[in-house]
Amino acid sequence: MITLTEENYIKAIFHLSLQGKETVSTNDLAEAMNTKASSATDMIKKLSEKGYANYKKYQGVILTDSGKKVALSIIRKHRLWEVFLVDKLGFTWDEVHEVAEQLEHIKSPKLINQLDRFLDYPKHDPHGDPIPDINGNMPIVEKTLLSQAQVGHIYSCIGVNDSSAEFLQYLDTNNIQLGSEIEIMYIEPFDKSIKIKVNNNEFTVSNSVAKNLYLKKN
């Protein structure tokens, strides 16, 4: 049996190992989980014993295939529930995360597969992130951060890095949605702020914003 806490640690390790180095450090994991390093160490040991992770003292942790499978199953559930909340219950994209964090732990294969069907097999969640299929396969999208985009090119918005309500509301205010076309006009060398054109409307976004918006080259 896998506990709710174990699931959350596995999910955190999975996400951390995608954004950055392969192996996840105890401190980073502790920070992601809002606990102390000693707690993270304990849990890493436990996950290793249960076969979800590989771990050598002082060397950080990596998920095993079994651990990755667990992570992808949770991510599938999380993202399908997000689609449900937005498409069927009228939530906005900045309201869904917290509730989906709870719903992702419901255990019932039939539930999640019927939900998938009810939603007509969506490929992406409301933030543009891909939904793993029933076997845990998740298409890899070659995405670029706005902060790494090239002047003169046109991109489409395909997702966010930060799904906090604040950031998502900022995007709404500036009429940036999933699928929005974004043209890179000018990058200010001094503070790395970027002038972009969206819906024929030019404005400048800060580097902190640019580091949290994923684009795909058109």
- Which member of 38, 113, 137, 206 binds DNA (CB under 7 A)? 38
Q: What is 57-96 written as a DSSP string?
A: TTS-EEE-HHHHHHHHHHHHHHHHHHHHHHHTT---TTTH
- Six-digit token pair at 194? 């970027």
Among residues 59, 39, 35, 50, which one has the least CA distance to residue 3?
50
Among residues 58, 81, 74, which one has the least CA distance to residue 13?
74
Binding of residue 54 to DNA (CB under 7 A): no
- Which member of 13, 43, 112, 176 binds DNA (CB under 7 A)? 43
The Cβ of residue 179 has, within 10 Å, a number of other Cβ atoms equal to 10
54 binds, among a copy of itself, DNA, none (CB under 5 to 8 A by kind): none
163 binds, among a copy of itself, DNA, none (CB under 5 to 8 A by kind): none
Please, what is the minimum distance in Å from the beta carbon of residue 37 to a copy of itself? Answer: 25
Binding of residue 211 to DNA (CB under 7 A): no
Please, what is the minimum distance in Å from the beta carbon of residue 13 to a copy of itself? Answer: 24
Binding of residue 5 to DNA (CB under 7 A): yes
- Six-digit token pair at 184? 């890179």
115 binds, among DNA, a copy of itself, none (CB under 5 to 8 A by kind): a copy of itself
The Cβ of residue 71 has, within 10 Å, a number of other Cβ atoms equal to 24
The binding site for DNA (CB under 7 A) comprises 3-6, 25-28, 33-46, 55, 57-60
